Amino acid sequence: MTALIRRTARAHATIIAWRIGLMLLVPLALFPVQHAAAAGDAAHGAQVYKTCAICHSIDRNGAGPKHAGVFGRTAGSVPDYRYSVALQKSGIVWNDATLDKWLADPQALVPGTKMFFNLDSAQDRADVIEYLKEQGGNTPQPTP
């Protein structure tokens, strides 16, 4: 009799172990899918860009440089904008990786830059980068 109870208890323990295993595995299995979905969404990026628009616009310099063609070009290269020396000397080329680092923490990537604005959400960064890509990426700058 006790043997039967012990066996049943062991069977229960096995089932519980399986359940716990599944609870741990299911989120792990789902995570890469969510991660893959984290590729930029330009439409949402346009919404995010509204927070940049306090200082930036696509085709006119303001507190910050204009952004037309920014994806793929060298940092600090809009001819009629006065950059910080730090950004001008950085030699950075704006791509997915450098823009992501920049938007997360410009001061960390380029100490001495005069952009003081951090975009904390990785998804927002990916989306706004996607949006910037659509703003005349790689087109030559018009001469002022």
Q: Which residue ranges make up the site for ligand HEC (CB under 6 A)?
A: 51-52, 54-56, 63-65, 70, 75-76, 78, 83-84, 86-87, 94, 103, 113-117, 119, 128
User: What residues contact 34, with CB distance under 8 A and at least 6 apart?
Assistant: none
Minimum gap (Å) between residue 142 Cβ and ligand HEC: 14
Q: Is the dihedral angle over the CA atoms 14, 16, 17, 18 positive or is it negative?
A: positive
Minimum gap (Å) between residue 87 Cβ and ligand HEC: 3
- Comparing every residue's Cβ against ligand HEC, the nearest one is 52
Helix (H) or strand (E) holding 138: none
Rank residues 40 and 64 by Cβ distance to ligand HEC and give the closer one.
Answer: 64
Gap between the Cα atoms of 24 and 37, Å rounded: 21
Gap between the Cα atoms of 90 and 132, Å rounded: 20
Rank residues 19 and 89 by Cβ distance to ligand HEC and give the closer one.
Answer: 89
Rank residues 44 and 114 by Cβ distance to ligand HEC and give the closer one.
Answer: 114
